[in-house]
Amino acid sequence: MRRAAGFTLVELVMVIVLLAIVATISVQFVALSTQGAIDTGDRQQRALKAVVVSEQITRMLREAFPLSVRVTGPTDNCIEWLPIVGATRYTELPKAGGSTIEVVPFSRTPDDDSVRAVVYGYGGSADDVAAKFYQSALQNPGPISPEIVKPIDNSTVPVSINLDAPHRFSAKSPARRLYVVSRPQALCSEPDGEFEELALYRGYNVGASYDRGNRDVLAANLKGPAEFFVKPISLRRAAVVSFSFDLATPGSTETLEVSQEVQIRNVP
């Protein structure tokens, strides 16, 4: 009689166990590979985000009027400045009771956000000048003018800048330097749930709180508050602003530390 061939129960169990082991290893390998790809993508996104945010902050600060940059906020978590929108040399400053500044034509006509003129001289410290910029009532005489009556006609020689009130500048510039600045801007680190975010405020008036302006989120998912530091300008070196923050990704324990210095080259 012919004997029947086949697998025993023990052999079948062993095959099932081996297949389960292979399947478990395969799933773990795929899971680890997938997680590795996700982590790599998160790192690349954080690195790209760090480059973009740092470049945005750098470009904004390099256009700042040097003596207007200051660290502010309830816990020194904001940096505030006056953006420069035009630069030239003056030929005649207002005399007592006058409200007209005569200047050399601008290389580029200041835009509609131009609101005040600043004579850039050697007088006063950065702290003194910054305090005058941001107080509720501008001083007369002082380094910063009342608002400019728009528009500025850049086609005449000399160009006349008309102010909406008489003003006398507290000091002259040895190089006759004059800047036109727009309304203040402020970059603040603010809580956002378990993370922090960088918020840009703009469009508010000198002497007003920055929370009255338009608010745009420049960066989110910061692990902890951003830090700002200003090294004031001197006669021999430009102002230096340093900032640092840690970028995080929700659901990940990894962070990317960003630290950079910005040199504001407009020395006296």
Residue 157 burial (CB count, 10 A): 10
**Which pLDDT belongs to residue 34?**
72
**Which pLDDT belongs to residue 171?**
81
Higher pLDDT, 232 or 101: 101
Residue 125 has pLDDT above 80, yes or no: no
- Burial of 133 from C-beta contacts in 10 A (0-12 / 13-18 / 19+): buried
| 136 — pLDDT class (breaks 50, 70, 90) | low
**Which pLDDT belongs to residue 41?**
77
Once rounded to an integer, what is the mean pLDDT over residues 99-114? 86
Residue 149 has pLDDT above 80, yes or no: yes
| 139 — pLDDT class (breaks 50, 70, 90) | confident
Residue 129 has pLDDT above 70, yes or no: no
What's the pLDDT tens digit per position in 167-200? 988 888 888 989 998 888 899 998 888 899 999 9
**Which pLDDT belongs to residue 261?**
92
Residue 122 has pLDDT above 60, yes or no: no
Once rounded to an integer, what is the mean pLDDT over residues 237-263? 88
Three-class SS of the chain: CCCCCCCCHHHHHHHHHHHHHHHHHHHHHHHHHHHHHHHHHHHHHHHHHHHHHHHHHHHHHHCECHHHCEEECCCCCEEEECEEEEEEEEEECCCCCCCEEEECCCCCCCCCCCCEEEECCCCCCHHHHHHHHHCCCCCCCECECCCECCCCCCCCCCEEEEECCCCCECCCCCCCEEEEECCCEEEEEEEECCEEEEEEEECCCCCCCHHHCEEEEEEEEECCCCEEEEECCCCCCCEEEEEEEEEECCCCCCEEEEEEEEEECCCC
Domains of the chain, residue spans: 42-65+186-264, 84-181
Residue 28 has pLDDT above 80, yes or no: no
**Which pLDDT belongs to residue 1?**
53
Phi, psi of 100 (to 5 degrees): -125, 135
Q: Tokens in use for 87? A: 């630069």
* Mean pLDDT, the chain, whole residue set: 82
Once rounded to an integer, what is the mean pLDDT over residues 119-133? 61
Q: Tokens in use for 100? A: 């007209």
Once rounded to an integer, what is the mean pLDDT over residues 133-144? 71
**Which pLDDT belongs to residue 133?**
63
Once rounded to an integer, what is the mean pLDDT over residues 124-128? 54
Residue closest to 118 by CA, chosen among 167, 185, 53 = 167
